[in-house]
Amino acid sequence: MTPEPRERAPLGAFLGGVLASQTVNNALHLAQPLLIARLSGSLGEAAFFSAFDTAVHMAGTAVGGWPADKIGARRLLILSTLGRGAALALIPALWAAGRLTAGSAMAAYTLDAAVRGLTDTAVHTLPLELAEHERAELDRLNSRYELVFDLGAVAGPLLLGAMMLWMRGAAVHALIPLGFALSALVFVAVPERSLSARRPARAPRAPAGGTREGLRLVALSPELLFSCLSLALLNLYPLRKLMSAFFAKALLQVPAAAGWVGAAFGAGGALGSLLYARFRGRGTGAGWVAAGAAGTVLLAVGWLPGSLSVMLAAVFVFALANVGARLAMTARLQLDTPPETAGGVTAVARFGQNAVSVGLKALLGAAFALGAGPRAAFGLVGAGLGLLAALQLAAAARLAGRPAPAALPEPAA
């Protein structure tokens, strides 16, 4: 008897909310270092704060595992997106009142970072609820998520550039919290229940274990641990805001060019997600990760000529290759994750990925704080990226000898 075809997950509201939130999120991630540098008078301080901001975000991802498993990723995503809008609304309010200082801006951005960690865990757990651990459905959802994520990375910097031309002061920063409020409204339209709720249950659902249970599972499973570590090595996208802003301001002396470099990151990522959707196959993913390593090398050296066109090409190719690698490893992680602990395992994975971002941003901050000049600073960061490229290549080599994930893990009894 031919099995009944599984219903595809409804993605419109989810992807629409991601596009709206990522557009304003990417505008925020370029506006933040520029505003902190302006208020504090130091690029190094802006980079160090960005590293601290990501560390707070990282802590939020760890905390987010429990509510994601307890109340569901959808509800957590709506509530945390609204929370981000509320936190960021403090910036234009303080500016309009004439009370915005470097310290008060950092406080508002720190509050946003804590809530953003919850959003991070929720938005990466929701695909597991919607796709129900099917390889084809996960690849479909992940590649579409990455596409709209990167379209937001193109639109966000361009939106910021337009706002900086047409608006002044608080008005630019007022549109960002409004965008998050709109995103939360769109997420409300995501179906309340996952596909599994409309099919017979195969086994009782285990109690939600949260991040602690996720950490236990990752520690005990070589496959989960390998996927988490590989994803951490590949998580270089958060550098786009600092590298774009600092390259434009410190090397080119044209701050407005930050939007062009940021948009090139997004455009490359969008094309990479389309290529992955077309050619993903069902192999181990080693080829995608090896290509990601080559892209990291380009990012490490793309700043050397001090040319906007060369940097645009380098970040475009990096993003294209990096997205395919991350999607391949994300699929492996999701297929090996037991459904009842999706939030906890996702929280652990996102914590590790953000830990790498903290280290790279701190390295960038230290490089600029040394006062040796922008080229020396970028050289130090390039060396760090080169080391990561070598580790990514080693991960690809090890991945080539591993079997492709094939089966859905059975829920715990």
The pLDDT > 90 percentage for the chain reads 29
pLDDT of residue 10: 66
Residue 5 banded pLDDT, cuts 50, 70, 90: very low
- Residue 21 near residue 191 (C-beta atoms within 8 A): no
Map out the domains of the chain as residue ranges: 12-190+211-400
Q: Calculate the average pLDDT of the chain.
A: 82
* Model pLDDT for residues 208-236, shown as the tens digit of each residue: 557 788 888 898 888 899 999 999 999 88
CB 179 within 8 A of CB 21: yes
Pairwise CA distance, residues 74 & 119, whole Å: 10
- When pLDDT is cut at 50, 70 and 90, the band that residue 186 belongs to is very high
Lowest mean pLDDT of 46-50, 111-115, 269-273, name the range: 46-50
Task: Give the separation between CA 320 and CA 147, rounded to whole angstroms.
Answer: 11
pLDDT at 4 over 50: no
Q: For residue 248, what are the contacts with CB-CB under 8 A and spacing of at least 6?
A: 254, 255, 256, 257, 258, 260, 261
Q: Measuring CA to CA, how many Å separate 290 from each of 239, 260, 405?
A: 20, 27, 19
For residues 259 and 149, what is the distance between their CA atoms, to the nearest angstrom? 16
CATH architecture assignment, domain 12-190+211-400: Up-down Bundle (1.20)
Cα separation values, 59 from 65, 270, 347, Å: 11, 28, 10
231 or 200, greater pLDDT: 231
What angle in degrees, to the nearest 10, is found between the helix axes of 342-369 and 239-246?
A: 20
Nearest CA to 8 out of 197, 136, 126, 125 is that of: 136
Q: Which of 210, 164, 226 is nearest to 342 (CA)?
A: 210
Given this model, what pLDDT does residue 49 score? Answer: 86
pLDDT of 406 higher than 60: no
- CA 405/CA 369 separation, integer angstroms: 45
